[in-house]
Chains A and B, each alone.
Chain A
């Protein structure tokens, strides 16, 4: 018995050694995705891993559960440590990507876009946007887009005869009716920095239009310009009228989402990823409705931007394999598989034909975002401004400062950057 075990292990050692010395054996270490250890997500990604390994004999893909994002320095320290990843999937946006580009931690991918045809595999407007951001040099491949809009309960709206209105005045009117019913009109969790920005970005675009917001985030338009301050002033009005409870200033996204899932609150501003929260809360997604924030400037559209991107670290030990992996991710088969999977929680970076989203609401969001999305300033503002941006939103929601004050503080930070 013992002898047989010994022999077997000797054979195993030999086999491993033989494999290791073969020129084919390579490992691709991938940072991400978030919650890779969660069964539903693990199932999808282990499937992708198996497909990729089958197509590339001798290659092993290894997942690294992320300890954070670029915003809290986790990605930077992961790249710096030489045990770091070969390819990275993380929360992106121009501010975050700028941080790692400035630190010379990620490789430019501009040439790969042309050589591998990636430029034709993402929305043209998205490619143009990426080219515009950094003088033509591109460092990321978008994996998913955010599309932030207003979520509501279909049954609650039907029971009360409410509908999502077209104009802001009607929207205010609706909020009043909801409050009269003893329901909190809007839930928000500004302690989760991103979440504070979701509602605020919606308000800014509704009041000023996406073109103005685009100019403001790139510094071409002052935040204190009369055409910009409207959204901030309106947010403070919502607080003063009691449509947003001041005590929500202390909530994080989970705390606020609870109010919505339990139907103590009627409206919530979120993106497609909210389906994952709903699934965990056992909320019936068939009851969820989604609409862009009403605006007087014409039909509304979601705000958003690049939410998640692929990056290749400058010190990647497998740069060629990383490119192959991105090719694989951008392929029709993988895109479709991910878009139809129950773990799917985002907008994909190009139009996908004949896809059956796992939930109806994702279909609604895909449709709302088909014509493009506006700007979610959180992901476009420079890193040194974005902290102030989140703080002043908390300031408005806790009724400590006026909309005008808030915009003045953001503008002061923008001026420092210029």
Chain B
């Protein structure tokens, strides 16, 4: 309290020269900030920012890989990207993937968080167990789920057969309409745990008295969920949504392991196409264009979302 008074007093005295003082304070802050920021920024600039800028430069060249001479070709790679139907297809898939990840991983996280929060005795057990898939690396997730989805010997189709639901068995990874969804389920299995933990924490922060008040007003369970719980989760929700969108956009490993974009490009994401362009086809120029596209998308989504979130908060 005393501190607050002192600062207020100081501010009051300083008011006539406020602009000048602010500038000086800013400079002072900068001098203290530099040594604290330097370790992080030095590493980050060298191993992340520099490669990002080099990629940008590559997108204007005809580079075909290591040690080959690359010359400046202007916007021709951008023209090729625009004319390549697979680029457009993979762009659509990337948005479908992102949305699927948001709904499946985010949704499952929310539902399980709501259910787990109702537990007392066994809460920790369930919370811990549900988080386990998140500990598995995505490459391993791909190997496990490719075996689960095997049309002839897989866990899923075999289980359906045994349950007498053989009619439901599918070519989970061969059907053009199913494949992206199937891989996304595997990816969401790995991803939902983190979102669930965040939602559980958000639920703990909701004021209990709100529920009591709602009870007195005669609200049933659904109404409590709708009018108390979900609004109370708004802040966590925005955090989870932004995290899930970024993770969705970065989706790569499960598709790479399970289908490598196939069959016939039906599960191609921008990231998997970049990888094959660079490593199989040695077309580094076009790959770089797609990197630029992906980065632009990521930044665009983040900015738009933050803007929307800011307006919502107001």
Contact = CB atoms under 8 A, between A and B. Distances in A.
A, B assembled together: yes
Interface-central residue, B149, B175, B264, B279, by most chain A CB under 10 Å = B264
A105 to B, nearest CB: 7
Interface stretch (B133-141, B166-174, B241-249): B166-174
B66 A80 contact: yes
B127 interface: no
Contacts of B262: 190-191, 249-250, 391, 394
A109 interface: no
Given A250-B151, A250-B259, A400-B264, A73 B172 contact: no
A89 to B, nearest CB: 20
Contacts of A99: 65, 282
B88 interface: no
Interface string B257-276: 00111111110000000001
A400 B278 CA distance: 26
Interface stretch (A26-34, A141-149, A381-389): A381-389
A67 interface: no
Nearest to A413: B281
A326 interface: no
A245 B280 CA distance: 28
Contact of A384 (B67, B259, B264, B282): B282
Range class of the A interface residue count: 35 or more
Given A80-B66, A249-B263, A400-B264, A71 B280 contact: yes
Contact of A255 (B65, B68, B150, B179): B150
A335 interface: no
B227 interface: no
Given A102-B68, A255-B153, A391-B265, A246 B280 contact: no
A248 interface: yes
A213 interface: no
A250 B281 contact: no
A247 B171 contact: yes
Contact of B171 (A73, A246, A264, A392): A246
A191 B280 contact: no
A229 interface: no
B196 interface: no
Interface in B144-167: 146, 149-153
B64 interface: yes
A250 B263 contact: yes
B264 A398 contact: yes
Interface of B: 64-68, 146, 149-153, 171-176, 179, 259-266, 276, 278-283
Interface of A: 71-73, 76, 80, 99, 102-105, 190-191, 193, 245-252, 255, 258-259, 264, 383-384, 386-387, 391-392, 394-395, 397-398, 400-401
